[in-house]
């Protein structure tokens, strides 16, 4: 028997997809992305010799970033490797805010670039919640600590600056957007969480809401970003787990200064 929350999630997704049919169709045609390879667990090798070059661990390499990823293997059911971009990505997030100061948020959510367009993503993984039709994207990236902190300060200002605003999608649908602060575990050196609700109407006038959880962290001289969203139930515990485990894993990889291949 289909679980009730799955039925509700599917009904909500179909309702808003009908409202935003033109854009959603283009998203559905997006070719599936290949599943990411499993992460490499942190090495149990002893600390490097004091004679080793200190530059060895000063730069986050791609191999280190991949080893620091949190994937569906860590989160367990119902998470699986992503099968493609969610229909709501273009159908809902590609929108024009009625206030210029809030457009930056929509642009960052659409591009998945909460640390700015020039931030270098070193490793990225996408995951699908097959029970609730939600999608998570997890990134480990290199960014100067001062710039990471500026991005975190901007995110922290959004519940006040853009707590409520309206946005219009590419198909002309008008959405009400609410932005609130979301608590995060005491992970990393600095962090900020947001919960963003984008509410539209189905053809019969019933409200339909896309929920996005956004988490951003500074871990030493590196950054982590997590987005978890969907029309149905969004598992906040999965977001929290990704944040906590991800910060611990990145810290351990940095301590090792290298990744065993």
For the packed helices 4-19 and 21-28, what is the interaxial angle rounded to 10 degrees?
110
What is the model's pLDDT at position 239? 98
Helix (H) or strand (E) holding 12: helix 4-19
What is the model's pLDDT at position 164? 98
Reported as half-sphere exposure (CB side, CA atoms, 13 A), residue 218 has a value of 17
Helix (H) or strand (E) holding 173: none
Nearest to 5 by CA among 170, 238, 235: 235
Mean pLDDT of the chain: 81
What is the model's pLDDT at position 13? 40
What CATH number does domain 4-27+76-256 carry, 3.30.230, 3.40.50, 3.40.1000, 2.40.50? 3.40.1000
Domain ranges of the chain: 4-27+76-256
Helix (H) or strand (E) holding 189: none
DSSP string, 140-155: EEE--HHHHHHHHHHH
Contact 168, 176 (CB under 8 A): no
Per residue in 99-121, pLDDT (tens digit) is 988 999 999 999 999 999 888 88
Tokens of 48: 């490097």
What is the model's pLDDT at position 207? 86
Cα angle 64, 68, 74 (rounded to 5 degrees) comes to 150
What is the model's pLDDT at position 205? 75
Per residue in 1-14, pLDDT (tens digit) is 444 443 444 344 43
Task: Give the span between the Cα atoms of 210 and 88, in whole angstroms.
Answer: 8
Radius of gyration of the chain (CA): 19
Q: Is the dihedral of CA 141, 156, 109, 202 positive or negative?
A: positive
Per residue in 45-73, pLDDT (tens digit) is 344 433 333 344 478 999 999 999 999 99
Under-50 pLDDT residues of the chain: 1-57, 259, 261
Nearest to 191 by CA among 252, 133, 136, 250: 250
Nearest to 115 by CA among 211, 260, 38, 216: 216
What is the model's pLDDT at position 3? 46
Task: Give the span between the Cα atoms of 25 and 88, in whole angstroms.
Answer: 10
Partners of 206 in the beta sheet?
A: none
Task: Give the span between the Cα atoms of 179 and 105, in whole angstroms.
Answer: 10
Nearest to 194 by CA among 138, 132, 152, 232: 152
What is the model's pLDDT at position 258? 53
């Amino acid at each position: 028997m289909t679980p009730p929350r799955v039925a509700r999630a599917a009904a909500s997704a179909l309702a808003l997809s009908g409202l935003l049919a033109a854009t959603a169709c283009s998203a559905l045609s997006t070719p599936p992305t290949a599943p990411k390879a499993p992460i490499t667990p942190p090495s149990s090798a002893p600390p490097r010799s004091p004679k080793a070059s200190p530059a060895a661990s000063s730069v986050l390499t791609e191999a280190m970033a991949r080893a620091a990823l949190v994937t569906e293997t860590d989160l367990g059911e119902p998470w699986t490797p992503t099968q493609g971009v969610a229909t709501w990505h273009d159908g809902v997030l590609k929108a024009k805010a009625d206030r210029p100061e809030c457009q930056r948020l929509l642009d960052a959510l659409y591009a998945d670039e909460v640390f700015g367009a020039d931030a270098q993503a070193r490793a990225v993984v996408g995951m699908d919640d097959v029970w609730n039709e939600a999608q998570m994207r997890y990134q480990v990236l290199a960014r100067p600590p001062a710039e990471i902190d500026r991005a975190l300060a901007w995110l922290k200002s959004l519940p006040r600056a853009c707590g409520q605003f309206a946005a219009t999608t590419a198909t002309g649908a008008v959405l009400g957007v609410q932005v609130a602060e979301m608590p995060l575990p005491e992970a990393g050196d600095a962090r900020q969480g947001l919960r963003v609700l984008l509410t539209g109407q189905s053809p019969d006038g019933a409200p339909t809401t896309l929920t996005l959880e956004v988490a951003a962290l500074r871990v030493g001289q590196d950054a982590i970003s997590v987005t978890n969203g969907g029309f149905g139930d969004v598992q906040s515990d999965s977001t929290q787990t990704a944040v906590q485990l991800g910060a611990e894993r990145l810290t351990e990889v940095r301590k090792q200064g290298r990744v065993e291949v």
